[in-house]
Structure 1
């Protein structure tokens, strides 16, 4: 494809990606306000995020498999439609349960957009050439990831948080039309489709049970209890059954044979850790800004710009370097080290840490993620056959989302426990501060006792400082717990095979492989025909065979 043709095809794809990023990030800075307004607690806050990640995680490999079997353009439009309709309904939520339910449907659509965007890119841009277009993707990601929180914060402060869920609707309509008009993909050969329904059910049941257990254990029941045993045991049985089903299924959701590919297996390990870092930090940094530094929603969006700037600027530069030189390993190793350093440094912050230092720490973490995250998909697509690109791409996205989902659930549970412990340690100090407020302190005391997340920026100074200190230390604790996981990313990337990047698109590779297979088949057939002719000639001249040494040989 010419540059013009690629640009035309990317138009709708970029708009679809922008919609998914915007709809996700526009509520990130508003979540503390939303959960507080809907009378939710820390568990509710965690599940508003986890519900989307869980649905994205489970649906990503399903969308990826469907992409290998059905019309990718139609699937892309369908996932976009599901995503924005769920977003619109979420805007009418009356409690956290309704919001969490709609976030599940948002996740189903997001799973399609996550998987299909990468798969369609492989259809039209070769791994080697993709760096040229990273600037475009970086610009769109910048607009969505940096602009989303700012827009969301402004809407929340100026109008109402509900409008955050409606803002993506006009963009979605434009994206669906653009994809229809501009995205032209190679025609896939039609074949009989077999969907692994048993695998879908078992995967959903196993992962969901584990995450629900992590979220509720220690609060609704003890970690070591019969309920925990039932939930964990049921989850393990479902996941073991899933593995057995995948071994026997004709069209498995996650082909276990993929794990024979060293590049795929090591990239899965790295993706799990990257998922914890990416999703975990974005969730808990928003809480740090609003609950530990007393920022409102708009200010919170502005304060997280350093991390997004690091991710976008460095990912664009790294993509251009990979495209120019074809070398990726050194860049990814450096990125994984920066990821570890960023998490460790964020684990040292307090509510009153100089914000310039916090910004530097966020930039370092963002730079590390920018050098690693998208390039993991790139090298996996480069290492597998054209027929496996869809399921391999969605597999990496699946394990990244899985890491993020488990990470947010576990770290959220740890943070809730840590906040409770820190507040209990300061109960006397907090009680005295609340008592000093007189009648105004009664409602505040009741709200804090119920576990609801407070609107810190509106609290009196005496109470605000205590709560900010507790949340600041709790967020730092979460980062320091997450940091060691990044060692896995470093080790996995170090041991990745340093394969040369292909200069062919998926369709070109498939055509070349088919032509090579055809040549090999023709050669084998010619050899078989030659053998048959020789045997016939020998059989027809037995005397000559015995007398002539050359023929006999």
Structure 2
């Protein structure tokens, strides 16, 4: 007996609101799992590395390996979405993610876990890029505003819920840390089934297409070199040193060669003609800034509450709820207002301004700051992110034709992820330096040698004498405010880029070519799914993937 499937699109080809929500349910479910897998280890990692007897450098690489793989491959997934079945690519990404999660859960040492996380990152990068591409292929930009509210809610839940879930898992004796990776497997399987039954997109077959393998390899290689440098600079070697010169020089040269290749191939992974336009270019700058500020700043909130304030992993997750509430409310409300008005720039500008204000407040905190003030700052940061992050993707998608949708979406997601990775590494290096300086100064002021029989660099405060515990706790609590001030300065660049964006009104059709026609003659893309149409050299077959 054949399993029931979702009803076909309504007459006229356009998906109804119910059909769109059904398709989105699977997409948002798998996006939640992918994003949670990246955040769930933040509170559980000390326990995981301790169980696997790993080192401090391996501790860093468990996080960095997945970020590297996801960031470097995002534009490749986006370009593939312009050439092949989007639904099939999503399913492949889910499969890679599932296999990677299972291998992570069964890892017997830190090296195996790092390799598994890198493989898992390939699927994570695909899911983060493809979910937005599929949404753009289903929903016109004008209508996409209200659906972006659901997307923002999922991102908020994953960002805050991941650390909370990780804390609960490691605090529950009968589960164990391996369930930090296993827990996403059944959810991803459910999402795979839901997508198979509800997601129906026209498969666009393009003749004479060639994949830009050299460009993809060069972009991934150049970005990886720079991200590896950012990961180790300030710790393994100095900012001004020969390893820095060698790695930065090599990365820049590889990316310069990649740019040359991309300017000459027929089907570039990152279409320069698209991202060189004013609107996409400014949106990318703003996304880079918002990503650096958001990921680079917010990732340290859990550490602030645990190390700087003495709360448990579970309590630390609960204390970050204002951040999630800000993202959820602002993304939902701004999304509906954008759909109603068709105007998007005011919300992006407003969001970046609120983001700066939120980080400005968090920049004043120390280890004794009232929790309500910290909560206000987190809520404002969440509100700013909810109003700006997804809408920057939307404004780029609004300016490109359907044939470039995947590459354009992948490019802006790539730069946002790149900004986040750089932000985490750079602000983490600043935090470590500041903490070391403060601890040394406070020990000297107390008349205690810095090496007096205790390792003050450890995050296991229970292993330190009571007097040392208070010094380390105060150092972490006070230094966190310092990096939030840096995050606020970075976010100012996002404000300037947002202000420079041109005034645009979101189109009501899926493809850019249709938007230029008479409104009465414009036809939603999904209407051609039942027959054969020719558009910009693209042959659209009556196949639903």
Relative to the length of structure 2, the TM-score reads: 0.86
Q: Partners in 2 of 1:416 and 1:97 — Cα distance?
A: 24
Q: Partners in 1 of 2:55 and 2:360 — Cα distance?
A: 27
Residue equivalent to 1:323? 339
How far off is 1:70 after superposition? 0.7
Corresponding residue SS for 1:298 = helix
**Given the alignment, which residue of 262, 268, 288 partners 1:246?**
262
Q: Partners in 2 of 1:118 and 1:344 — Cα distance?
A: 31
Residue equivalent to 1:490? 495
Residue equivalent to 2:483? 478
Cα distance change on mapping 1:50 and 1:99 into 2, 3 Å: same
Corresponding residue SS for 2:260 = helix
Residue equivalent to 2:66? 52
How far off is 1:497 after superposition? 1.3
Paired residues of 1:53 and 1:404 also in contact (CA < 8 A): no
Q: Partners in 2 of 1:133 and 1:163 — Cα distance?
A: 31
Residue equivalent to 1:548? none
Q: Partners in 2 of 1:412 and 1:189 — Cα distance?
A: 46
Residue equivalent to 2:541? none
How far off is 1:329 after superposition? 1.5
Q: Partners in 2 of 1:162 and 1:431 — Cα distance?
A: 44
Residue equivalent to 2:355? 339
**Given the alignment, which residue of 401, 410, 417 partners 2:433?**
417
**Given the alignment, which residue of 233, 246, 251 partners 1:235?**
251
How far off is 1:27 after superposition? 2.4
Paired residues of 2:271 and 2:408 also in contact (CA < 8 A): no
Paired residues of 2:507 and 2:515 also in contact (CA < 8 A): no
Corresponding residue SS for 2:508 = coil
2:186 is the counterpart of 1:170: yes
Q: Which has the larger share of helix?
A: 1
Deviation digits for residues 441-488 of structure 1 (CA, Å, limit 9, x no counterpart)? 96xx2x54xx4x423367554222111111122222222222211121
Matches within 5 A, 1:103-182: 103-159=117-173, 160-182=176-198
Cα distance change on mapping 1:285 and 1:96 into 2, 3 Å: farther
How far off is 1:40 after superposition? 5.8
Residue equivalent to 1:297? 313
Q: Partners in 2 of 1:174 and 1:110 — Cα distance?
A: 17
Q: Partners in 1 of 2:156 and 2:381 — Cα distance?
A: 16
2:330 is the counterpart of 1:314: yes
Farther off after superposition, 373-382 or 423-432: 423-432
Residue equivalent to 1:214? 230
Corresponding residue SS for 1:487 = helix
**Given the alignment, which residue of 104, 107, 112 partners 1:98?**
112
Farther off after superposition, 97-106 or 325-334: 97-106
Deviation digits for residues 397-432 of structure 1 (CA, Å, limit 9, x no counterpart)? 011011111111222222222222222223447885
Deviation digits for residues 209-242 of structure 1 (CA, Å, limit 9, x no counterpart)? 2222233234333333333222222112111111
CA RMSD across the alignment: 2.9
Farther off after superposition, 240-249 or 472-481: 472-481
Paired residues of 2:287 and 2:416 also in contact (CA < 8 A): yes
Q: Partners in 1 of 2:396 and 2:427 — Cα distance?
A: 29
Q: Partners in 2 of 1:478 and 1:100 — Cα distance?
A: 27
Corresponding residue SS for 2:311 = coil
Q: Partners in 2 of 1:297 and 1:162 — Cα distance?
A: 17
Paired residues of 1:128 and 1:503 also in contact (CA < 8 A): yes
Paired residues of 2:440 and 2:450 also in contact (CA < 8 A): no
Q: Partners in 2 of 1:65 and 1:100 — Cα distance?
A: 27
Paired residues of 2:166 and 2:180 also in contact (CA < 8 A): yes
Q: Partners in 1 of 2:427 and 2:281 — Cα distance?
A: 25
Q: How many correspondences in the alignment?
A: 509
Deviation digits for residues 268-309 of structure 1 (CA, Å, limit 9, x no counterpart)? 100100111221123211211111111221111111111111
How far off is 1:130 after superposition? 1.7
Residue equivalent to 1:285? 301
Residue equivalent to 1:504? 509
Residue equivalent to 2:274? 258
Residue equivalent to 1:367? 383
Matches within 5 A, 1:36-47: 38=52, 44-47=58-61
Residue equivalent to 1:69? 83
Unmatched 5+ stretches in structure 2: 1-14, 524-532, 537-545
Relative to the length of structure 1, the TM-score reads: 0.85
Paired residues of 2:44 and 2:166 also in contact (CA < 8 A): yes
Deviation digits for residues 34-55 of structure 1 (CA, Å, limit 9, x no counterpart)? 3455566765554433332222
Q: Partners in 1 of 2:470 and 2:481 — Cα distance?
A: 17
Q: Partners in 2 of 1:323 and 1:42 — Cα distance?
A: 48
**Given the alignment, which residue of 17, 32, 41 partners 1:3?**
17
Paired residues of 1:43 and 1:416 also in contact (CA < 8 A): no
Paired residues of 2:326 and 2:381 also in contact (CA < 8 A): yes
Q: Partners in 2 of 1:338 and 1:519 — Cα distance?
A: 45
Paired residues of 2:148 and 2:332 also in contact (CA < 8 A): yes
Cα distance change on mapping 1:74 and 1:223 into 2, 3 Å: same
Cα distance change on mapping 1:70 and 1:328 into 2, 3 Å: same
